[in-house]
Amino acid sequence: MGICLDELRRMVIRPTLKHLRAWSAGMEELLLGTAAQESLLGFHLKFGRRHGLGIYQIQPHTHRGIWDDYLIHHPALASKIRGLASQHDFLQHPHSELATNLRYATAIALLVYRAADIDIPDPGDIAGMARIWHRVFHHGPVATARDFELSYARLVSGAPATDSAPRYTEGARPYPPAEARSSPGARLPSHPQGQPLA
């Protein structure tokens, strides 16, 4: 199992796109689908001998090309992207950011698509997303647009609700009432023998 879909969406992809003023429902879904296809939503950060890194499996030469061929013409955007990277490690090991820094990797994945001047797909157009991924992002002879569609169906649109985004019914309470937890007679949980409290 990779990263929780709802957390990846709400804590990584959406805020990164909004930070870069590039959010749209279609781009958010395309990046989720890309992460689903490339790494099973982060289950793998590096596949065997493949050169791609991180949840989007971005190759070092693609990463370098984004900086050398695209961001060089967009200095304000380059500054925002650099601000997402770690302060010191980026200078010594820039490609490792693709595996260890989710927001930075998401920004670079966005730019892979943006540099190709794609039309942002509608959020429900899975086949369109698959074609864009295959044309722009795909870098191997094996996977097809249909593979993207299947990964998206299994890991994104077919993902069950998770604890990070609970689906409570009206009136249901996930916790005991506050008075039960903080009343004078409430008991503290017991601690195993030999385990210090502080």
Say how far apart CA 197 and CA 188 lie, in whole Å.
Answer: 12
Query: Which letter does DSSP use for residue 27 in this model?
Result: H
Q: What is the pLDDT of residues 153-194, one digit of tens each?
A: 999 998 665 544 444 334 444 444 444 444 455 454 444 444
- Residue 87's pLDDT is what? 76
Say how far apart CA 33 and CA 25 lie, in whole Å.
Answer: 12
Say how far apart CA 42 and CA 99 lie, in whole Å.
Answer: 9
pTM of the model: 0.78
Mean predicted lDDT score pLDDT of the chain: 83
Q: Which of 10-14, 85-89, 127-131 has the lowest mean pLDDT?
A: 85-89
Task: Using the predicted structure, report yes or no on whether residue 147 has a pLDDT greater than 90.
Answer: yes
Evaluate whether 84 touches 98 at the Cβ level (below 8 Å).
no
Q: What is the pLDDT of residues 53-88, one digit of tens each?
A: 999 999 999 999 999 999 999 999 999 999 999 877
55 CB contacts (<8 Å, ≥6 apart)?
Answer: 2, 3, 8, 35, 38, 39, 41, 42, 45, 102, 105
Find where tokens 């409430």 sit: 186
Evaluate whether 130 touches 145 at the Cβ level (below 8 Å).
yes
Evaluate whether 20 touches 77 at the Cβ level (below 8 Å).
yes
Evaluate whether 133 touches 148 at the Cβ level (below 8 Å).
yes
The DSSP line for 36-88 is: HHHHTTTT-SS-TT---BTTTTB-HHHHHHIIIIIGGG-HHHHHHHHHHS-TT
User: Taking Cα atoms as reference points, which of 174, 159, 166 lies closest to residue 4?
Assistant: 159
Say how far apart CA 188 and CA 196 lie, in whole Å.
Answer: 15
